Every structure is written in C-alpha cells, then in structure tokens.
Amino acid sequence: MKDIKLIVTDMDGTFLNSSHEVSPEFPEIYEELKKRNILFVPASGRQMLGITKYFGDIENEMAFIAENGGYVIYKNEELFADKLDQQYIAEIIKAIRTIPGATAVLSGKKKAYVETDNQDFIDYISQFYTDNERREDLTEPVDDSIFKIAIYHPEGSEQNVYPVAKEFEKYNLEVVVSGQYWLDIMNKNINKGIALEKLQKSLNITPEQTMAFGDYMNDIQMLENSKYSYAMKNAHPSVKKAANFEACSNDNFGVLETIKEYLKSN
C-alpha cells in the first residue's frame, strides 16, 4: 500500500465513536497527513454543518461529502449540489406518514425541516442536522434546495421503512438504508461513491490512491470506488462483503488506527 493521496471516511459508526466523539489523536494524525499531501475527507449522510462542526479551524483546508453525496465542497468551494423535485417530496412525505413510528426530515442546503413537535426527537437530530426548523406541513414547498429525505424509525429502518419506501425507486430515486434507524431517499445516482468519483477527478486522484472506510449500506459505492476499502468491525454484513479489508470498530477508533499503521509503514 503506497502513494495514498486521499482518505475518505463515513462519520457515524465509522470515524466517530458511539458517543459521536472524535479521537483525541486526530489533530496530530491530521498534521502528518497534511505534511504528506494526503487529503482527509469526511463523507456522511449528515447535513454539511453537522460534519464541519467537528473540524474547526482546519475546515477550510478539507473536502467534505455531505447528504450521502448530494453536496460536495472542497476548501469552502462548492463542487456539486443536488436538488430533489418538490413533486416527489410531497408524495414521499404522505407515504411516510402512513408508517407508525416513522419521522421524516427534509435535509436542505440552508436548514433541515421537520413537522414533528416531539422535542426529544428534535434534540436527537440536532447532532446531525445542526440548523433545523419545525414546519406545519412538509408537503408544502420550502425556500431551500432539498438534497434528500431522511426517515427515522426507532425499531429499525430496514424492516419498518424500506418496505414502504422502496416503491419510490420506480421514480428513478435512490432509496438506501443509511443506518440502523435511518433510511434516505435522494435522486438517482446520488451516493457517496459518485460524489467521491467527482472529487477524485477534480483532484486527479485515482481509486488506487484512495483509502475509504464505512459501516453501512450507504457507504458501499464509496468503498467500491477505492482500492483500499475498509469495513469497520461493527459494519453491516453487506458492507464487509463489499470491502477489501476490515478495520477495528469505531469505538476503538479503527479509522485512525488503520491510518497510523499506514503512516508507520510508508
């Protein structure tokens, strides 16, 4: 493993531990990556502000893939931003309302929008969607570019949301289980893998020069676009099948442990 130029990692369940914390070793490791001209790229289903808040003063040096690939920036410059059609938003929201226990979040460039008045849920999503707003009716248009609809279910998204949401694939939409409790709906061909490819091409970096880490199904295309692809020990079985290697769990900060091993051997 030589000549790595780009390291891309999912956030929740991968780079962050279960308490949503960054390893205290990260600043030192980041400086070493910077010395070697290796770009570190967080890639998440989170809203952009929900990712960048972890990186403080170095944010303007980095690239970020947000909204499961719907929004990409590099050194504070927008490389790509998608937009979901309002017609689909209204229809999806109506369908999600029929699922007991499910709650939808519209994720936009300016803010995230919910129609629930459950303050516990709003407090919970604030760690992912830093700037959010309650609306009476999410089927009504908002003055924002909506990247995706994220649906939460406390008993599991794969079992409780996907059977209903999968019908929207017929509209050429991407429907992906993005976590144990979350499912995302976006435009077709919006995913972390395609976003990574756009970034690679813009920087003239190849998959053979890319290391990637993930834990859930929305990470699979990203892993497939990297020769040095790692599934976390805590990853979904389908992710382990897609990856070429395995890293220790997020609670052992497996991303940084793997990077440290690479830096020691090169």
pLDDT averaged over every residue in the chain: 95
Domain CATH code at residue 96: 3.30.1240.10
Q: CB of 220 within 8 A of CB of 240?
A: no
Domain boundary among 187, 208, 231: 187
Residues 168 and 205 in one domain: no
The pLDDT tens digits for 137-149 are 999 999 999 999 9
Domain boundary among 131, 164, 187: 187
pLDDT at site 77? 94
Residues 255 and 202 in one domain: yes
Q: CB of 9 within 8 A of CB of 44?
A: no
Residue 36: band (very low, low, confident or very high) from pLDDT cuts 50, 70, 90: very high
pLDDT at site 130? 85
Residues 47 and 127 in one domain: no
Inside any domain, residue 1: no
Cα separations in angstroms, 246 against 7, 62, 258, 266: 15, 25, 9, 19
Helix (H, G, I), strand (E, B) or coil at 197: helix
The pLDDT tens digits for 172-189 are 999 999 989 999 999 998
Q: CB of 146 within 8 A of CB of 83?
A: yes
Q: Is the pLDDT of residue 1 over 80?
A: no
Domain count, the chain: 2
Q: CB of 255 within 8 A of CB of 261?
A: no
Inside any domain, residue 109: yes
Tokens, residue 237: 């079985």
Residues 90 and 75 in one domain: no
Residues 91 and 183 in one domain: yes
pLDDT at site 143? 94
Which residues does residue 7 pair with via DSSP β-bridges, in sequence order? 40, 211
Burial per residue of 131-170, b for 16 or more beta-carbon CB atoms within 10 angstroms, e otherwise: ebeeeeebeeebebebbbbbbbbeebbbebbbebbeebee
Domain CATH code at residue 32: 3.40.50.1000
Which range of residues forms the domain containing residue 206?
A: 6-81+190-265
Residues 106 and 176 in one domain: yes
Distance, CA of 212 to CA of 243 (rounded, Å): 9
pLDDT at site 23? 97
Residues 100 and 169 in one domain: yes
Inside any domain, residue 242: yes
Residues 183 and 221 in one domain: no
Categorise residue 221: left if φ over 0, alpha if ψ from -120 to 50, beta otherwise.
alpha
